[in-house]
Amino acid sequence: MNLPILPGSVIGVLGSGQLGRMLAIAARRMGYRIHTFSPEKDTPTGQIADVEMVASYEDLEAVRTFARGVDVVTFEFENVSAAAAEAAAEYVPVRPSGFVLHTTQHRLREKTFLAKAGFPVTPFRPVCSLEDLLMGLRDLGFPVVLKTAGFGYDGKGQSKLTSPDEVESAFRALGGQEAILEAFIDFRCEVSVVAARGVDGTFSHYGLIENTHRNHILDISVAPAPLPPEIAREAVEIARQVLEQLDVIGVLCIEFFLTRNDRLLINELAPRPHNSGHFTLDACITSQFEQQLRAVCGLPLGSTRQLCPAAMANLLGDLWQNGEPRWAAVCAFPEVKLHLYGKRVPRPGRKMGHLTALAPSTEEALQLVRSARAALHLPP
């Protein structure tokens, strides 16, 4: 019998970035304590946590020591070794499970699992050698996208190939790593569904979200997505089936391509709260972070009802190039919420925070969040 893990208990988080920080804030509000484990100190999560344990994910004895001091373990990004999740599971529940982590942290395992289960995915071929790559190109043609199979996010470890001249150099750039070759999809837009599944199998979701990217990094998300309701219903049903097939306990995001003929293809899975779901902190009755907490603790899931349309814009380290952004200027927009992650060093492409705009329509929210972000670096 799965007894609920009640307030006053200790939540262990593998990882220490901004997702863990927002989970920790939700946990503190509900009376839980937070311990975080990662190779770094003074981290976004560590600044909120009761205990910040600094060690490598490969140090399984340290992971075991960490697990003995908490009541449940979850993770805030998927680049934690599956062995670490298994070591923690010797002592406490790990949610989502090590199987979910093992499957989703490796692009080839993930796509193979989804394809075998009958889910719509981009056409792909495994690549372990130059011969594999050439055979894949014969099957898929140009253009294609070559990606390292493991430990990639925000466009890292991938390159687009448009001609035979690029093949050998792209293969050398893999450095001997296992890879996956995917057909390039000329998509209409990118969308996602952030969903949760409880210990008892209860399913909840935040509807369909439309996402735009810049340099492979999420730039702006709009919710609800301004797309036909039948597309939203199909995406949510696919999400439900994915969470059931993986036996997820917790939050998982499914990222899709929507093709020109309105076909949904799964691009990636993220077994955790997701950047595209940050709007839920301000726009929904229960945020994705509180929902993650509820799910991993075996509590009933909260209402995901969205109170008004919203748009979220990422704040990257590039904004600091000409000095500290003008925070007072963005606070002059009363319908815009500012979230900063406590990161000390801004770097180009590094996620430092985000803005969420709330408005009567998605069009107004989108315009508002763009205007607020632009005000951060306008001259006074």
pLDDT, residue 2, reads 78
Distance CA 152, CA 275 (A): 15
For the residues of 134-147, what is the DSSP string, one character each? HHHHHHH-SSEEEE
pLDDT, residue 203, reads 98
Domains of the chain: 10-94 (3.40.50.20), 123-183 (3.30.1490.20), 187-375 (3.30.470.20)
User: Residues 6 or more apart from 92 whose CB is under 8 A from it?
Assistant: 12, 67, 70, 71, 72, 73
pLDDT, residue 322, reads 87
Its pTM stands at: 0.95
β-strands 264-270, 351-358 pairing: unpaired
Q: Rounded to the nearest 5 degrees, what angle is found at the Cα of 87, between the Cα atoms of 86 and 89? A: 65
H helical segments located in 141-189: 167-173
* Other Cβ atoms within 10 Å of 142 Cβ, number: 14
User: Residues 6 or more apart from 372 whose CB is under 8 A from it?
Assistant: 313, 330, 333, 336, 355, 357
Q: Per-10-residue mean pLDDT for the chain, 380 residues long?
A: 91 98 98 97 97 97 98 92 94 96 94 97 94 94 92 68 90 90 94 98 98 95 98 98 98 98 96 98 98 98 98 96 94 98 95 98 98 85
Residue with tokens 């190939």: 161
Q: Please give the structure tokens belonging to residue 284.
A: 């929904």
